[in-house]
Structure 1
Amino acid sequence: MTVAPITPLTPGDPQARISAALDGMLRDTPPTPPTLAARPDPLVAAVRAALESAASSQGGLSQLFADLGQALRRSDLPAAARTAIADLLALRTPLHPALGADDIRRAVQTSGLFMEADLAAAPAGGRAAPPGSPAPPPTDIKAALLAVGHELEQWEPPEADAPRQEHPAVQPGAQPAVDGARAFIAPPPPYRGAPTAAQPPAEPSIAADAPAEALAGRLTAETRAAIARQELHQLASLPEARGAERPQESLGPRWLLEIPFATPQGAAIAQFEIAHDMAGGGAGEQVAPAWRVRFSLDVEPLGPVHAQVVLGADGRAAVTLWAERDACAEQLREQSSLLRLALQDAAFAAHVAVYSGAPHRPPPPAAGVLVDRSS
């Protein structure tokens, strides 16, 4: 099953209709199934179909990056596929002590979340490359994934291999092992309000000497699943609908995205939620506008770490950290004064708290929130 890219959305009534539909689909109350008497809006139906398709086939980046690295070690990988894979892997952000705000800003911009918006904002026609010159490498992870998927689709195995089979669809939860390799459990599908979940670096699930036909089929399926997950992040990041308790002028952007970090163990995938509350909290409560960031990361030797950062326009900052390993939590407590001083140097009145364990996780969404099981 081919995952089609999401087309850019335009402002106005269509955007509001899509936002209203998503607000119902991605919250606690499942959407009402359409009936013959009430036909769904075509745009709403298109979004619903994209959501259902992506939710049932999504998969993580961590395993894909590990298997793509394994593929680069083979001599039979076509040159075009090798270039596309190298371009994708080059978009990982190095995780090192000198990592700064500019690195994170660049990683967010190239995460794949804004691909269609960037294309829509580009000048008409753009600047054409000179005839015969190679195309510039993608600067966006979703664009790079699409390029990898295209090149893998063109790959034909050597004549000595068995005829190429149709690629099986990647089922939710697990991906089939190749030549006895361990199965990889896919991360939970992202949706608005979900707890952030990290993907630790993975070991290759494809044997180094796997047949080219099996390798091409597995990589194609994993790439499609990663594109589907990108689309779920984009759907979950669409604007919220208007409501009596949350007027439109108080609703800022809310982005759900993933950033791949390059570590010595492989690609570690951090999931972020970035939200901007423009005005008060409703019911007469007035609070200063604030940026709220949640993220999760899982790298050795720290293990799973979760964070919530709130930066208020009133100059206050609150940082809460959770470490699922007690040794890591103790280490973070010992270093928390350095974080507090760094925030104070940036003119924030800072409060830092560190806890052992994981943050409270809401119950999983009810059936039908991501997939309409009535149809």
Structure 2
Amino acid sequence: MIIQPTSVAALTWLGAAAGASSEGWRIGSVLSARPLGITEEGLMVLQIGALTVEAEAPGTGTKLPPQFQVRVLSLGAQPQLEILSANSPLDSTVNQALRERLPQQNGYAPLLATVGALSQWAIAKQLPPYLRSALALLEHSMSSPAELTTPDGVRQAINRSGMFLEAQLAQAPASDATTAHDDMKGALLRLVAILKGQPLLGESSDAEVDPPLLYRGVMPQGRLPLPFELANTSEATDFLPRLYADVQSALARLEVAQLQATPAHWLVEIPVQDEDGADVLQLMLKQEQEAEQGWTMGFSLDLPSLGPIAGELHLRGLRLSVRLWALRRETVDRLEQQFDDLRSRVDATGLFLDQLSCQLGLPQAGSSVSAAFLKATV
């Protein structure tokens, strides 16, 4: 579970956020917490480590115990903490792996911007052949828009997204050396191994990163511009520190998604390579506990031609509901023009379409798991 504080003791928090506190306000660390009472405004007062914060009360039916523990998911002006359940094995292998990777994780967008810049021939020809080969393999691991227009193409893109690399390796014959040749995680691991041997490598950025995917839900991720200093350089070596940090961050994010996934709930990011750049498709699949044969699939995409788009498909037995969102009015109109064709396609499958709508704007950002955020602000 996650809760959202609305304020924090300013002087104490500023010291912790600046690193003056030695009591564990680091991403991935686990802190003790306990409720202290309720303010006149109806906000909970919580003590978390050495800090006191105010937070909105959790949803109906949720009651905090006299003592509990939280794990730091992100820092910055609005740090986010996950409330750990009483039976969470904090010393388990999974929790240890999460604590190690949470501080490093970030999305694909920075990496895709860096790789796109390095793919320019004038810069790429400066790189060693083995590094060029590894970058080419990474681009080969990405999907194309055409591949994602068919069910089999989507299935293949998910299979090579990196989420299932270890399972595929475990099932493959020992003599098969091609199992991971087009897998995204395999490509990232190759790049990390090669870049460790390159000179002038910097450490990972201290920039604030988003919390893990399952705590954000599917939200469109647009393309990112290069930093000014890289956008104006023609030296390939200037990109190597940034490339190394971006690859590590994307790999850590992928591994956090693997660690959090369950057979009934997972979220995957798929880089999609087009002629003029790369975008990120997010897919979420979740089995609804309260409904027999009930599934929810969410997706998001941010294309330069259409802008941010999100969707949610609810399947209950043979009944299907589809809700779409788009940030641009012209995109809403274009999607609605496809509704007749979509209804025909759904009818042909034998499903009953209960709802089909497209709304202007985007769905409210929130957790795709049963949780509430602790988000402290100064």
Note whether the superposition's TM-score is higher than 0.5.
yes
Aligned equivalent of 2:142:
92
3-state DSSP class of the match of 1:154? coil
Aligned equivalent of 1:329:
332
Question: Contact 1:305 / 1:324 at 8 angstroms: preserved in 2?
Answer: yes
Aligned equivalent of 1:70:
117
Is 1:113 aligned to residue 163 of structure 2? yes
Question: Contact 1:295 / 1:306 at 8 angstroms: preserved in 2?
Answer: yes
Aligned equivalent of 2:272:
261
Counterpart Cα distance in 1 of 2:148 and 2:99: 41
Aligned equivalent of 1:168:
203
Aligned equivalent of 2:76:
none
3-state DSSP class of the match of 1:307? strand
Which amino acid letter does the alignment assign opposite residue 256 of structure 1?
Answer: L
* CA apart distance, 1:87: 0.8
Aligned equivalent of 1:246:
none
Aligned equivalent of 1:80:
130
3-state DSSP class of the match of 1:48? helix
Is 1:352 aligned to residue 363 of structure 2? no
Counterpart Cα distance in 1 of 2:239 and 2:106: 17
Question: Contact 2:267 / 2:283 at 8 angstroms: preserved in 1?
Answer: yes
Counterpart Cα distance in 2 of 1:137 and 1:76: 27
Counterpart Cα distance in 1 of 2:140 and 2:315: 31
Task: Assess, with a 3 A threshold, how the Cα gap between structure 1 residues 212 and 324 changes in structure 2: closer, same or farther.
Answer: closer
**Structure 1: gaps spanning 5 or more residues:** 1-23, 130-134, 157-163, 174-185, 240-251, 282-286, 369-375
Aligned equivalent of 2:64:
none
The 5 A counterparts of 1:216-295 are 216-237=240-261, 239=262, 252-277=263-288, 281=290, 287-295=291-299
Aligned equivalent of 2:184:
141
Aligned equivalent of 2:344:
341
Alignment RMSD: 3.1
Counterpart Cα distance in 1 of 2:236 and 2:147: 39
Aligned equivalent of 1:361:
365
Q: Deviations along 1:313-358, whole A, 9 cap, x unmatched?
A: x321111101111221122122212111111111111131111111
Counterpart Cα distance in 1 of 2:159 and 2:269: 11
Q: Deviations along 1:124-150, whole A, 9 cap, x unmatched?
A: xx1166xxxxx7872210111111111
* CA apart distance, 1:293: 0.7
Task: Assess, with a 3 A threshold, how the Cα gap between structure 1 residues 193 and 213 changes in structure 2: closer, same or farther.
Answer: closer
3-state DSSP class of the match of 2:196? helix
Task: Assess, with a 3 A threshold, how the Cα gap between structure 1 residues 28 and 136 changes in structure 2: closer, same or farther.
Answer: closer
3-state DSSP class of the match of 2:204? coil
Task: Assess, with a 3 A threshold, how the Cα gap between structure 1 residues 103 and 55 changes in structure 2: closer, same or farther.
Answer: same
* CA apart distance, 1:200: 2.0
Task: Assess, with a 3 A threshold, how the Cα gap between structure 1 residues 128 and 231 changes in structure 2: closer, same or farther.
Answer: closer
Question: Contact 1:59 / 1:172 at 8 angstroms: preserved in 2?
Answer: no
Is 1:31 aligned to residue 84 of structure 2? yes
* CA apart distance, 1:50: 2.4
Is 1:192 aligned to residue 214 of structure 2? yes
Normalising to structure 2: TM-score of the pair?
0.68
Aligned equivalent of 1:11:
none
Question: Contact 2:220 / 2:301 at 8 angstroms: preserved in 1?
Answer: yes
Counterpart Cα distance in 2 of 1:98 and 1:258: 13
Which amino acid letter does the alignment assign opposite residue 101 of structure 1?
Answer: P
Task: Assess, with a 3 A threshold, how the Cα gap between structure 1 residues 356 and 88 changes in structure 2: closer, same or farther.
Answer: same
Which amino acid letter does the alignment assign opposite residue 104 of structure 1?
Answer: V
* CA apart distance, 1:276: 2.7
Which one of 98, 112, 115 corresponds to residue 51 of structure 1? 98
Task: Assess, with a 3 A threshold, how the Cα gap between structure 1 residues 76 and 304 changes in structure 2: closer, same or farther.
Answer: same
Structure with the higher fraction of residues in strand conformation = 2
Aligned equivalent of 2:223:
201
3-state DSSP class of the match of 2:338? helix
Aligned equivalent of 1:179:
none
Normalising to structure 1: TM-score of the pair?
0.69
Question: Contact 2:148 / 2:157 at 8 angstroms: preserved in 1?
Answer: no
Question: Contact 2:168 / 2:179 at 8 angstroms: preserved in 1?
Answer: no
Task: Assess, with a 3 A threshold, how the Cα gap between structure 1 residues 355 and 41 changes in structure 2: closer, same or farther.
Answer: closer
Aligned equivalent of 2:24:
none
Aligned equivalent of 1:127:
175
Task: Assess, with a 3 A threshold, how the Cα gap between structure 1 residues 88 and 293 changes in structure 2: closer, same or farther.
Answer: same
